[in-house]
Structures are given as C-alpha cells and as structure tokens.
Amino acid sequence: MKKQYKVIGFDADDTLWINETYFREIEADFAKLMAEYLPDEQAINRLFEIEIANLNLYGYGIKGFMLSMIETAHKISNGKLKGVHLEKMLTLGKEFLDKPVELLPNVEQVLQKLSANGYKLIVATKGDLLDQERKLMRSGLEKYFHHVEVMSDKKKANYNKLLAHLDIEANEFLMIGNSLKSDIIPPLELGCDAIHIPFHTTWIHEHVEDLGGLSNKYTELETITDLFTYLGISG
C-alpha cells in the first residue's frame, strides 16, 4: 500500500476535462482563414512562434491565444487582414470560451472515491483565471476540491508557493497531470511524488525530450482509475 498523502493535486485541462483538442481545432480553422497567404502548416507554425513569444505578456489560455492569432494574421497578411477574417477569429475564441465542459472518462467517480477515503484534493492548474473558474463551475467537480490554485505558470517556484500555502511538506503532496513539463518535473524537483496520465493530444510547448535523472522518479498510469491501485483503494 502506498503512503497516505495529505494532499493530492490534480491538473485541470486534459487531466479532468478535454481542452487541447479544441485548440487544435481552432488552429485548423485559423489555417483555413489564412490559406490565401500561407499553406496550412506554415500558418500554424507561425502562430505557434508568435504565441510562444507572447507568453510572458499574455500568459496561458484562450484569451492570449486569440490575441496571438490576430497578431499572426496581421503579419501573415502584411497588414491587409480582412475584417471578415478578424470577426471569424473573435467568434472562434468566444465559442471556445463558451464550450460545455467535457469530463474525461471516470473522473468524477475517482474524485468521489478519493474524497470518501479522506483525501484532501486540490486543483493545481495554469491559464486564465476567469476561464478556469468558469470551467470548474460548469464541470460540477468543484465540490470535491478543498482548494483551487490557478498559476501564471507551473514551475518549481510556483509549486513551492503552493506547498507553503497548504502548509505541507513536499513528501506529503502528490501531483497528477498529463504534462511532464508542467505537472511532473517541477514537483519532482521539490521532492514531491507525481503521476503522469498521458492525454492523446499534447501542446508542442509541453513536450519534454529528456527527463534526465527524473525519468525513474514518477509513476505513469494509463487511466485515472488506476489511481485506486496506486493508492491501495479497492475499486
């Protein structure tokens, strides 16, 4: 049986509910709008470059993505962006923000079971505060979480502040998420335990080629229900 953690943290996007899939859909729509200027792949690559360059200004989330999309279109079109294209991009972003939340399989069942077994659960995610609060409310999962932390980024220092806020030691915290870069490596660097549950679509910015000495320090599970076995809870 695994040790009894005081707090278990869950990433939100693509761990609790679907998110990245929608970004890829918007990218494809953007590429179609820009087809008269650049081939699809080149337009998407240019969008990614500008999005990454803007992260320090806008942070993560759909609102920053929309601004980067408009900037990219302006540059690709050499300042001749059509009003109809601008309107379409704004519509795509607003439709994204208004999407219903689609939970990943068995998420609520797992949260309910962990809560019933006395675990203190939190959300530890990054992105736009208003958007993440809206998604959590629409998800119906808010009742399972003791605390919700929306970070500007998910680096070692951000997790260190989170542990201090929770008043726990690193070895008392377990982090669960789909991104090696954001959910796994920083907690491991602090001495926490971490569980990686891959999602079929991962933003290229979150890809990690080499974990170095941390490659054997975390656990990878195929599905969220495998947490029951990891924690020694009967399903």
Q: Which CATH superfamily is domain 7-17+103-231 in?
A: HAD superfamily/HAD-like (3.40.50.1000)
pLDDT, one tens digit per residue, over 213-223 is 777 788 999 99
- What's the confidence (pLDDT) of residue 209? 64
- Classify domain 20-97 by CATH architecture: Orthogonal Bundle (1.10)
The DSSP output letter for 151 is E
Q: What distance in Å separates the CA atoms of residue 97 and residue 30, rounded to the nearest whole number?
A: 16
- What's the confidence (pLDDT) of residue 59? 85
Domain ranges within the chain, ordered by starting residue: 7-17+103-231, 20-97
pLDDT, one tens digit per residue, over 149-180 is 999 889 999 999 999 999 999 999 999 999 99
Run of H or E including 56: helix 55-58
Burial class (CB within 10 angstroms; exposed 0-12, middle 13-18, buried 19+) of 180: buried
Q: What is the pTM of this model?
A: 0.89
Q: What distance in Å separates the CA atoms of residue 125 and residue 157, rounded to the nearest whole number?
A: 14
The neighbouring-strand residues paired with 13 are: 17
By C-alpha distance, which of 149, 139, 169, 186 is closest to 9? 149
